[in-house]
Structure formats: C-alpha cells, structure tokens
Amino acid sequence: MATTTATITISSTDLLTDELALSTTATLTAAGNSTGLVGSGGLGRKRLASGHAQYVLFDGDAYANGAHKIYLKNTSTTAAEYFTIEINSEQMGKLYAGDWAFFPWEANADTNDIKIDPSADDMVLEYMILIDE
Amino acid sequence: MATTTAAVTLTSDLMSTNMSVSASTTCMKAGTTADGLDQMEYGYLDLPTGDEYDLIASTPTASKASKLYLKNHSTDETYYVAVTQNAQAIGKLYGGDWMFIPADFHDAAGDIAITANGGTNKICYALFHEGTVLVTT
C-alpha cells in the first residue's frame, strides 16, 4: 500500500505574546478506511498565457466522489498577483504570490469543478491532485 | 509586522520514484509584502452530528488574504467533517486530515460551514486574518 503523507507547520514568534508552533502530519487515505491513496496527477505547472480567463483546473466530471486532495501554489513573486480559486461557482479565496493551499476535494457532482482565475497575464500555478480511485 | 509562516511537505511512495514536495509562505495581508497577517482566532472543540455549523462565528473582513487551517482530530477513520462554503461542497476531512486554504469570506454567504458525520468529531482550527466584524452583545 502506498503511503502518502502531508505535513503542515505553522509558526510565528511575534504574532502572539507566546511563540506559535503548530505541526501535524496526516497519512492520506481513501474515504472511510485506512487504505492509502493510490492515484496521483503528479506535480504540474501551468502558465496562464494571456487574457487571464477563468480556467478549469480539475473537472468534477472526471473524478469519482472521493477523498481526493488538492495542492496549489502561486509561484508569482509580485505581491499583488493572485489566483482566485473557485469550486463550481463558489469563490473559495485568493491565492496570493508565494501562497499555497492544500484541501480535500469531494468531486461529488459533475459541476464540482475546481477553477482558477489569474489576476494577471503569464502567471504560473503549480498543482497536484492525489486521487482516491 | 507579525511574521507567520506556513509550510507544507507532501511525501509519497506511490510512484516508482519517491515524491517530495515542499512549499513555505509567509502569511501576508492582501497584495503586499510589507505587512503580515496580524490577527488570529483559534479553537479546539467537539463537533456533534446533526446540524451544519458556521466554523467562524464572527465575520472576517471580506476579500482579503485570510488563511484558514482546519484539522479533524478524530481517530476513527470512518468519521469525517464535511466542509462547505455557501452550500457548495469543498470536501470531507476524515479523521487525521487537515486543510489550509485562502478563505475569502467574500460576503455574508461566504461562510465556511462544517458538519460532523459518524459521531462527534474533534476539530482544531485557526484563522489568520486582517480583521473581523465582531458580534455585538
């Protein structure tokens, strides 16, 4: 069985009076059991050329309902540049330069697409899907 | 300026070559490299089954660069927390899973809502933000 882990570390020495240090690791498994995820879309990199139109990154129609995991990173170094992330037509948030996101994706409907919309031309997004097949 | 960093490492042996992906970001206010997110809300609570709840009771300032961390601390692999935004399903956080997203809170309907399944789930969350509209008494 494949073992895939996701570790997050959040830290700050000056946000609070006391130091903030949070770290946790999840072993990623299929929905409702302890079997490791067995599929991956690999690590991808996409440059949104011109026109910065909204782009379907993952099509809900192409994946079964499951415990998929999504990783996104905005590689821009220009602070004001962001990708707007939407699921179906609901705006989750804006991924600013250098920011990353990691979240479960259910793909519970054909319309449950993950869409990205860059705020400027020629922005580059790194992405990966870990698939619950 | 408060400096808060969030780092992720993904590792896997599911491919023929071991995979390791890492990223780190300093959580900044929207559109700037000069000022970090300087406010935080943090909680650890039992989430009973039966109803859907707003995770954040206050109203964070809309359309900023807030970051939301959420972990399901349940140890039963069949338990999960369904996470939605404005009734749109995002995904299910099974026992031990966590997520970290930019949360836009674009309007009054843009809340992150959570629903426990399987039994009472224990969750931990942290919101790093630029300000909230507090609820008056």
* Percent share of chain B, pLDDT over 90: 74
The winner for highest mean pLDDT among A53-57, B54-58, B62-66, B98-102 is: B98-102
CB within 8 Å: B91 and A67: yes
CB within 8 Å: B3 and A12: yes
Q: Which of residues 86-105 of A touch B (CB under 8 A)?
A: 87-105
CATH number of this structure's domain B34-133: 2.60.120.10
Query: How many structural domains comprise chain A?
Result: 1
Phi, psi of A60 (to 5 degrees): -60, -25
* Percent share of chain B, pLDDT over 70: 100
Name the residue facing B71 among A12, A24, A93 (closest C-beta): A24
Cβ neighbourhood burial of A7 (10 Å; 0-12, 13-18, 19+)? middle
Q: Residue holding tokens 């997004």?
A: A125
Q: What is the mean pLDDT of chain B?
A: 93
B80 pLDDT band (50/70/90 cuts)?
Answer: very high
Q: Give me the domain span that covers residue A76.
A: 38-131
In the predicted model, what is the mean pLDDT of residues B57-67?
84
Residue A82 included in any domain: yes
Which parts of chain A sit beneath pLDDT 50? none
pLDDT, residue A50, reads 66
Residue A58 included in any domain: yes
Residue A91 included in any domain: yes
Kindly identify which residue of chain A lies nearest to residue B70, measuring between CA atoms: A103
pLDDT, residue A52, reads 66
**Which residues in chain A touch residue B99, judged by CB atoms under 8 angstroms apart?**
102-104
**Which residues in chain B touch residue A34, judged by CB atoms under 8 angstroms apart?**
77
- Say how many CB pairs under 8 Å bridge A and B: 194
Residue A116 included in any domain: yes
pTM over 0.90: yes
pLDDT in tens, A55-82: 899 999 999 999 999 999 999 999 999 9
CA distances from B3 to A20, A81, B65, B101, B123 (A): 11, 20, 14, 18, 25
Q: Could you tell me the CATH number of the domain that includes residue A99?
A: 2.60.120.10
What span, in angstroms and rounded, lies between the C-alpha atoms of B3 and A133? Answer: 39
* Candidates A100, A106, A132, partner chain B, best to mutate (most B CBs within 10 A): A100
**Which residues in chain B touch residue A13, judged by CB atoms under 8 angstroms apart?**
3
What span, in angstroms and rounded, lies between the C-alpha atoms of B94 and B131? Answer: 30
The answer to whether A49 faces chain B, any CB pair under 8 Å, is no
* Percent share of chain A, pLDDT over 70: 98
Beta strand A68-74 with A82-87 is unpaired
Kindly identify which residue of chain A lies nearest to residue B101, measuring between CA atoms: A101
B108 pLDDT band (50/70/90 cuts)?
Answer: confident
CB within 8 Å: A130 and B12: yes
What span, in angstroms and rounded, lies between the C-alpha atoms of B93 and B91? Answer: 7
pLDDT, residue A51, reads 65
Where in chain B are the domains? 34-133
**Which residues in chain B touch residue A85, judged by CB atoms under 8 angstroms apart?**
101-102
Beta strand B80-85 with B52-54 is unpaired
What interface predicted TM-score (ipTM) does this complex get? 0.95
